[in-house]
Structure 1
């Protein structure tokens, strides 16, 4: 049954995404390097366990915050690889040797086939039942708002509205959207994401990995309490954090930067 769950959407997506541009060897290599990550995310019990661990931790963090704070309490969550699972799209990319494109991504999102991560819906319902408000703050484009809203509601996420669902309009920096939530009178007591940029208070936006790692170290006591991180080895802002101007590089140079970022065993 699991194979049907993942590969039926892939077959449909492969039919929908057409007229693909020719792909060079470097693009194929860049995409193929993601295979192990996607296989792990789709098959490993360890990945599911980490998801459950993150959501259980978030419940405890919210309960503690509720005992310490008054007023309108909120939990701000990312969507992709935090509450929902886009590994079918990543698997389609690998099998069809396709790099990321806005067109391909939008067709995947608009297919309304993104599944929930294990335990995500339960967490959202728990927070809502305990009097909290879930804010779904994603860098999916505003042009996919209708499909994203429909997908979340279809999965059973609670209170998905034009007010609580806040997608990217002008910037992928989530700090302005966090501020609008605060301006609406909410105290965000728990943040969940798969990317340090999902925690705007940490100010890691467009920072290189040396600085991002330093921020993580400086805030180590907040992880597991205020900030709940989910694993995502497939993609994230750690990749452009490898070097300045990463996204302006061609695929061959991106492969080179990845290789140069490895820290190998130094044999003596």
Structure 2
């Protein structure tokens, strides 16, 4: 018995060491459960959405008082105006990674609901004389379904001019430039991803650079840039390490675990 008792600390240490290096699961969809539960059930998530849109309305009012001409608001769609958590929940329950085929099936089903407060914000901008531009990295092959979904959800002024999906690149800078080339002044941008704000130049940057850029532009958040909460996915994830998308599921899970900054327990 004494020998067994003396071994217990060693067993605890070994288990603790193993926990540091081995992720609990390499099923990345299942790892997303807590985030998706929060987005679908927490009043706090809804409150943050309302807070973002309320702030955006005030920011647009200030911009309108300052600028003349054709004023535009450029918004992302997924997790900025539209709620794709049902697709994420399907992934979790069916143990499925993100795939273009299943994603396009979800988009083409035209069942994506609007985020709380999103339609009211878009209508506010439109009634105040601004033009909403819906700039998304959904594939242009889903244009008609996305357009129908936005109209169904009640978003205003959805057209072949104002809806701009991905054709060649997921970098949104060229599409923002095309809006400006048409005589609009983009006074406000909304997104759930720093890449939704092209002038920040976070596209394909690692998290060290992304965080530094966010710090450098801190005064512009809540004024020019309005960020919606999205703990489920985003470009912060490939920002964990170079070549992220070339890694296996096990390697991605290990990198996620290695990127944690834990308390040492003492």
1:38 equivalent among 36, 39, 63:
36
Equivalent residues of 2:75, 2:134 under 8 A apart: yes
Instruction: Flag the 1:151–1:187 CA change in 2: closer, same or farther, 3 A.
Output: same
| Deviation readout 1:86-119 (Å, 9 max, x if unpaired) | 0000000000000110000000000000000000
Corresponding residue of 1:258: 256
In structure 2, distance between residues paired with 1:125 and 1:103: 32
Task: Note the C-alpha offset of 1:213.
Answer: 0.1
Corresponding residue of 1:49: 47
1:98 equivalent among 85, 96, 102:
96
Corresponding residue of 1:160: 158
In structure 1, distance between residues paired with 2:58 and 2:171: 28
Equivalent residues of 1:58, 1:225 under 8 A apart: yes
1:30-179 correspondence to structure 2 within 5 Å: 30-179=28-177
| Deviation readout 1:209-267 (Å, 9 max, x if unpaired) | 00000000000000000000000000000000000000010100000000000000023
Q: Provide structure 2 residue ranges, at least 5 long, that are not aligned to the other structure.
A: 1-23
Q: Secondary structure at the match of 1:128?
A: helix
Instruction: Flag the 1:27–1:93 CA change in 2: closer, same or farther, 3 A.
Output: farther
Corresponding residue of 1:198: 196
In structure 2, distance between residues paired with 1:49 and 1:167: 28
1:212 equivalent among 207, 210, 213:
210
Corresponding residue of 2:181: 183
Corresponding residue of 1:14: none
Q: Secondary structure at the match of 1:167?
A: strand
Normalized against structure 1, the TM-score is what? 0.90
In structure 2, distance between residues paired with 1:42 and 1:222: 29
Normalized against structure 2, the TM-score is what? 0.90
Equivalent residues of 1:28, 1:97 under 8 A apart: no
Deviant stretches of 4+, over 2 Å = none
Name which one, 1 or 2, has greater alpha-carbon Rg.
2
In structure 2, distance between residues paired with 1:85 and 1:212: 25
Count of matched residue pairs = 244
Instruction: Flag the 1:27–1:175 CA change in 2: closer, same or farther, 3 A.
Output: farther
1:225 counterpart = 2:223: yes
Equivalent residues of 2:71, 2:131 under 8 A apart: yes
Q: Secondary structure at the match of 1:113?
A: coil
Q: Secondary structure at the match of 2:27?
A: helix
In structure 1, distance between residues paired with 2:256 and 2:196: 23
Equivalent residues of 1:28, 1:98 under 8 A apart: no
Q: Provide structure 1 residue ranges, at least 5 long, that are not aligned to the other structure.
A: 1-25
